[in-house]
Every structure is written in C-alpha cells, then in structure tokens.
Structure 1
C-alpha cells in the first residue's frame, strides 16, 4: 500500500499541531488584550492596523478582505461596525465604480495607538520571550515561504462565486 501524495509523517504532524496550538494560545491572549484595552475584536484590529500602515490610510475592501483572510460579506459587516463607531469611513473607490474604499479616521488611529503597546507586549511575552533573536529570524525564515505558498492560491474574493440554482 502506498502513501497518498501529501501524506504527513509523524514529525510533520507534530510540527503542525504545535503550530496550531501556539497560534490558538497566542490568538486567545491577543483577543483578550484587545477586548480589554479597546473593545476590539482581532478582526477589527487587523482592519484598523492594515489601514493605519497603508501610506494613504485606505484600502479597497476586496483587497483588505484578501489581506486579512476574511470573506467579503464578513468584512462588509465588520466595516459597518467600525464605521458606526467612527473609526473608519467608507467611500466609493475612485478606481472601480463597483468598489468601496475603507479609510481609517483620526479616532481609529487614536484607538490603535492606545491598544498597540499592550498588543506588542502580549506578542513579545508569549511568542518571542522564549526565543533568541536568531530563533525569531529562523521562525520568520521558515514561515515566510509557507505563507507565500499558501498565498499563491487565488484569494477568496478572487475565486468565482457559485451560482445559486
């Protein structure tokens, strides 16, 4: 009997479960910190950070959904909540008449500035404290190609939609 083409050996399976557990534990701690420091969910924080880091403070919503790996409808819902809170503004895209652009507001920037130090503290304590600088570089070197491989597939918003029958 031959193994399937993508069979995972015990070492790979162990690495997979360690990665998932580390990710879950880190995400839980981050979500707790964001909720306490600014009433944010992780997804809303990701949206605000992507906008804050953009040179224009804006992104097309489809591109933003792909970047944070979130459905278009889910991003629309989250953007609506952020807009209602005065943290972002939505406007028609200048490049695409069907597109919508999301822009961070000054209130959104202020909220990110308030929660970011605690966020960085949690990430530093949980993820990087047990690692040397060289270990952190090796981790980045290992995960970069994996991320790039996964991103090579069409993003969710780029896939053809299934038609309802």
Structure 2
C-alpha cells in the first residue's frame, strides 16, 4: 500500500504526482543548504553552473537554459546576472542571432562547481539514492526518463504562446 495520500476527489493515479512533488521538494530542500554553505549558491544558480559545465566548450543559450530549468526568462536573466557579477559565468553574444546571449562557465565558476560537487553528491545520495538498491535506482531512472522524453516532446516552453486571459 503506498504511503502517499490522495484526496478523495482525485483519481488514485494522482498518487504518483503527489509522491513526485514531495520527493522533489525534499531533495531540493536537502541540497539547498549544502549549496549555500559550500558555495554561496542558490539551487537555480547551481543548476545554471552545472548545465554550463556539462560541455564547457559549448555555450548555452538563455532560451535553452530557461527551457531546461523551467524558469522564467526574467528570473533566469537575473540569476545569470548575479553569476556574471560574481565572475562565475560569462555572457557572450550569440554568433547566430544578434539579439541572443549565450552563457559560458568561467574558470572561477568551474572551480566553484568542482568544490561544491562532492558535498552535493553526498547529499543527493543521502536523501535520494541510498533509499534504492541498484535495480530500483535503474528502474526509477528509466521511468523518469520516459516521462521526461514525453514532456520534452511537447513544444518548448519558449515556443508556446501565452493563453489569452479569460
């Protein structure tokens, strides 16, 4: 029997939704303290640095970052501005679009990422990974990957039009 309570007005399959929301919130809460303590970073700032660090030779566009982070463009602009002010990222004009800006990880940002990652990995293991054996971890990764592919198959958030007010 699942530990997740679903309000009676909702279908029972919403248990997966409530469980995912709670797990996500608890993981985020668990890592936020470590990121602040070890790097002076917010969760979103860490995500930006981590994405820029995936392939440091390939700058990330603001649109790509916003779509992956599911963050507003204005909020992302602010966070990238804070990281740039701290010397952790650099904003560079896009070679493909005069209006676009790309973000790259600076050497200082790479060093900070390298410093916070061991503690980050330890917290993620403690609050999430250690609850699963290898088979369950692989299965959860597979299932979440299916959901992610489904969600990413929809038009990008940046390409969607806002709904007109009712």
Q: Which runs of 5+ in 1 are unaligned?
A: 1-6
Q: Retained in 1: the 8 A contact 2:61–2:102? A: yes
Return the TM-score normalized by structure 2: 0.88
Query: What is the CA-CA distance between 1:160 and the residue it aligns to?
Result: 3.0
Q: Retained in 2: the 8 A contact 1:86–1:108? A: yes
Query: What is the CA-CA distance between 1:49 and the residue it aligns to?
Result: 0.4
Q: d(CA) in 1 for partners of 2:41 and 2:58? A: 19
Q: Retained in 1: the 8 A contact 2:56–2:104? A: no
1:34 aligns with 2:35: yes
1:70 is paired with a residue whose SS is coil
Aligned to 2:159: 158
Q: Which runs of 5+ in 2 are unaligned?
A: 1-8
Which 4+ stretches in 1 moved above 6 angstroms? none
Aligned to 1:115: 116
Q: d(CA) in 1 for partners of 2:39 and 2:153? A: 34
Query: What is the CA-CA distance between 1:14 and the residue it aligns to?
Result: 2.0
Q: d(CA) in 1 for partners of 2:137 and 2:10? A: 25
Q: d(CA) in 2 for partners of 1:123 and 1:82? A: 23
1:132 aligns with 2:112: no
Aligned to 2:11: 9
Q: Retained in 1: the 8 A contact 2:32–2:42? A: yes
1:9 is paired with a residue whose SS is coil
